[in-house]
Structure 1
Amino acid sequence: MLRAATFFRDRVARHGSYVWEVSTDLSWRSGEGVTTETQGWLQPPGTPAVGRAYLAAFHATGERLYLDAAVETAEALVETQLESGGWWALLEFDPAARQSWCYRANRAQRPPCTAIDGNKERDATILDDNMSQSALAFLMLVDETLEGGHERVHEAVVYGLGAFIAMQHPNGAWPVRSDRRVADALTVSAWQARMPESWPREYVEPEGEVYILNDHLQRDVIRTFLLAHRLYGEPDYLAAARRGGEFLLRAQLPDPQPGWAQTYNADLEPIWGRRFEPPAIASNETAGAVDALIDLHRVTGERRYLAGARKAAAWLRAVRLPDGDWARFYELGTDRPLYLDTDYRLTYAVDDAPDHYSFKAGFDIAPVLARLDAAGKDEKPRDIPTEAEIEQILAATDREGRWVGDGKISSAVFVEHLERLAGFVAHAAGRTIPDRTKLLPLPKAER
């Protein structure tokens, strides 16, 4: 663990930040695209995910090195927090390049945000793919570990949570980006989702008031506020989470298809998202909504959250494919698995689906259904790695403490292995990794 963490911190990090992959000679770095020597990447398994692994190692061992590494990562996020309260996917540390970003930390060294040209994302908080949520959650965990002793980290947390509350629509939904938020005066969504009388079989670009559940956006913000309430006890944080839950209950479609869509219009009807995301019941997002409702029930005790979750779970079980997977999309009104071919035409056959998107998979739905079945019962004991698993992890590392695959060093592999090693060491030493460090699981990056 020490070798792996030391190598990652000293050689892979840039200004305390991380990317998804680096080459073994460290000359090439990449997040969702190639990055420079002065850039980090936010989206899991990027910067916040690596910081979370360091925190787990610290709780398992008490070794200051891991806490110092986590704090460095937190400071990188403080340096790249936007005036809008969250983060963009790319984290920039080059002093000249930072002039085109509305970072709170460099406000005195750059033009006012409104005077910056040539960068449309300059102040855009992004909530897609658990980006700003995971960053803010990690800062909260560092803040708790340091008992509020790092003033800049604590202040960034309070500022970010306030901005997330300001971003939330009156109906409880959050936007994908802070700069694409519909004005409150235009938020006139129906009280309950409904099926459209008809829907276009060819792509129609969404416009106007749009609400999105794609990639578990709403679930991950709700969990961020549940964590905030757990750590700080502020009623406003629980209220924000509950408003998010109200939106999920309103956005649940009626029987006999009581699931959720990826994208809704102002009347809470399913519509097209991107050209490969048709109006449909989305199994992955339905499972994410169920997961969030379980969390809300666990905190509030209100059974209506479980009632909505159980209706959706029954539908998920009914549409499971014979091979145990789920289609990502199910046709409105028929429950037929719905796919697209490489020309983005709707089809009922998965054979010719584009390979840049998962149209059929397990989507981690089965664990959510199992969690719902166990709701109200005692939590299962933490999964402790076996000695055989640990031996495999140790055997895969090289002398420098690296896990190398396909000529690359992967943050996802580092995070997974360090957290598993930490869990094993904590169990052997009689230590506890606080449950809250697992309250916000970091999903694997999906294509």
Structure 2
Amino acid sequence: MAEEKSHRQCVMRWVLVPIVLAGLTQPSWSQTSTTDNLVARAEDQMRRAALYFSERVARYGSYVWEVSSDLEWRSGEGVTADTQGWLQPPGTPAVGRAYLAAFHATGDRRYLKAAIETAEALRATQLESGGWWALLEFDPVSRLSWCYRENRAERPPCDEIEGNKERNATILDDNMSQSALAFLMLVDGTLKGGHEGVREAVVYGLGALLDMQHPNGAWPVRSDRRTADALTVSAWRARMPDRWSRKYVEPEGEVYILNDNLQRDAIRLFILAYRLYGEPEYLAAARRGGEFLLRAQMPGAQPGWAQTYNADLEPIWGRKFEPPSIASNETAGAVDALLELYELTGKRRYLEGAQSAAKWLSNVQLPDEDWARFYELGSGAPLYFDAEYNLSYSAREAPDHYSFKGGFDIAHVLERMEDVGRDDVDTGKSPNARHGIPEAEIEEILATTDRQGRWVEDGKIRSETFVGNLGRLAQFIAHARGRPIPDPTKLLPLPTAEP
């Protein structure tokens, strides 16, 4: 679980606001002409930005978080070599998703070509364990120390590789392997199964994640740190600990983790798989994940979720700045996952679990309309840390590397809860209805580009900015041209790193 960087604090959802034409029933000729001109400019900028990104910023079809404007320096969570990409959002899969959106908005196959190149980069770095590690390596010699499926013939057997303990570790933290598989599925759906390698990588990866899921429905953080299945078959429910230490205690033994919305992202992945392929085993996996969330929901007056649980489903410490508590961000993520399961299955227990947690989230919102990341077990008081990592009830001295307070996209989850509550009989209702982007927002996006069609900020080209802006341009063009981006592509929010 990577500590949060400042450039990851912005959650990249495609927030789409309706255009309201006050007092008018039909646009005038001049308004139509102005809009057409803006659409043409948006299309031109989208082409220029995508061309630069795919031809100059990409490495072997992969991407990192930041690149210097002279392209001499590259970085994911740390500095990366010229032969490396980065998986973790807003890295490689997120950029690929933006290309796919641009293709669906315009029908221009240049965007599809860029998306396929990204899919092939992910296929080339898929591990024997079925998923991905954060770093994507393309140097022929360095690749020999990784258990990539594609290079089996060139390297030693996986268990004989030395010096790389991560060589075959599938990572589910920070929406890593989930976002990669989701993107590959969307490419596969767009190509209608026409790329044999992509389809095969999807089937292999989903099978591996099915095998990783515990009988109680939870997924581990990584494939090589699984709890023995014999220990995960009890039908227990979450409970408050009799006591908990206010000093850090390193987790030991069997643990279950919701941190960074790991379980939500795995459930969403299998919902997407079921929607695209219709395989009952994918729906069953998503529902097992939902049942785990219901069991892990805390009882009584704090019906939310913790970040980390022990074998008895009691909240425990995660890292030294992640105390036993009710976590607002992960609670919102669990609500979102349960709503998706309810909308898919019509099972009211998912809705009821989401409703009680959403009510709690509404009640604990802070006066400034933010939320504390952590709320104390029992008292419900907002919990923070001081500069020495002592628990505190004040946010004034909290370290700045981690979001101890923020919006965490909770407001959008609560809005979704309200929408379902108004029409909870229509379980087929899409939660992601899209409208047009305001023209003023498009003008701002266009105004911030340079002569090469890039968005450069403080001397850096950021994938986060590229993905967000390309997505907004695509949505604006799609709305104007009457080319709706297909629902499966919109099913998941753009994958992003959670704080």
Q: TM-score, normalised by structure 1?
A: 0.99
Which of residues 382, 394, 406 in structure 1 aligns to 2:434? 382
Q: Does 1:442 align with 2:494?
A: yes
Q: Does 1:12 align with 2:57?
A: yes
Q: Could you give the per-residue CA deviations for residues 196-243 of structure 1, whole angstroms, max 9, x where no partner exists?
A: 000011000001000000011000000000000000000000000000
SS of 1:91's partner is strand
SS of 1:109's partner is coil
Offset, 1:418: 0.6
Residue type of the alignment partner of 2:488: R
Separation in 2, partners of 1:231, 1:446: 26
Q: Does 1:157 align with 2:202?
A: yes
Q: Does 1:417 align with 2:448?
A: no
* Divergent runs of 4+, >6 A: none
- Tell me the residue number matched to 1:102: 147
Offset, 1:190: 5.2
Q: Does 1:393 align with 2:433?
A: no
Offset, 1:187: 2.1
- Tell me the residue number matched to 1:426: 478
Percent of aligned pairs sharing the same letter = 76
Offset, 1:440: 1.6
SS of 1:239's partner is helix
Q: Does 1:58 align with 2:103?
A: yes
Residue type of the alignment partner of 2:75: S
Contact 2:212 2:220 in 1 (8 A): yes
Separation in 2, partners of 1:65, 1:80: 23
Offset, 1:145: 0.5
Offset, 1:444: 3.9
Offset, 1:178: 0.6
Aligned ranges for residues 132-151 of structure 1 at < 5 Å? 132-151=177-196
Aligned ranges for residues 250-329 of structure 1 at < 5 Å? 250-329=295-374
Contact 1:220 1:440 in 2 (8 A): no
Separation in 2, partners of 1:168, 1:34: 33
Separation in 2, partners of 1:109, 1:283: 47
Offset, 1:443: 4.9
Aligned ranges for residues 329-348 of structure 1 at < 5 Å? 329-348=374-393
- Tell me the residue number matched to 1:173: 218
Residue type of the alignment partner of 1:37: D
1:443–1:79 CA distance, 2 compared to 1 (3 A) = closer
- Tell me the residue number matched to 1:206: 251
Separation in 1, partners of 2:277, 2:74: 37
Residue type of the alignment partner of 2:361: L
Q: Could you give the per-residue CA deviations for residues 338-396 of structure 1, whole angstroms, max 9, x where no partner exists?
A: 11112111111111111100000011001101101111365464131111111111111
SS of 2:383's partner is strand
Q: Which runs of 5+ in 1 are unaligned?
A: none
Which of residues 84, 99, 117 in structure 2 aligns to 1:72? 117
Q: Could you give the per-residue CA deviations for residues 11-47 of structure 1, whole angstroms, max 9, x where no partner exists?
A: 0000000000000000000011000000000011100
Residue type of the alignment partner of 1:361: G
- Tell me the residue number matched to 1:233: 278
Contact 1:133 1:220 in 2 (8 A): yes
Q: Could you give the per-residue CA deviations for residues 214-273 of structure 1, whole angstroms, max 9, x where no partner exists?
A: 011000000000000000000000000000000000000001111000000000000000
Aligned ranges for residues 40-59 of structure 1 at < 5 Å? 40-59=85-104
Contact 1:20 1:30 in 2 (8 A): yes
Q: How many equivalent residue pairs? A: 447
Offset, 1:429: 1.0
- Tell me the residue number matched to 2:457: 405
Q: Which runs of 5+ in 2 are unaligned?
A: 1-45
SS of 2:461's partner is strand
Separation in 2, partners of 1:362, 1:330: 15
Separation in 1, partners of 2:497, 2:205: 23
- Tell me the residue number matched to 1:83: 128
CA RMSD, aligned part only?
A: 1.0
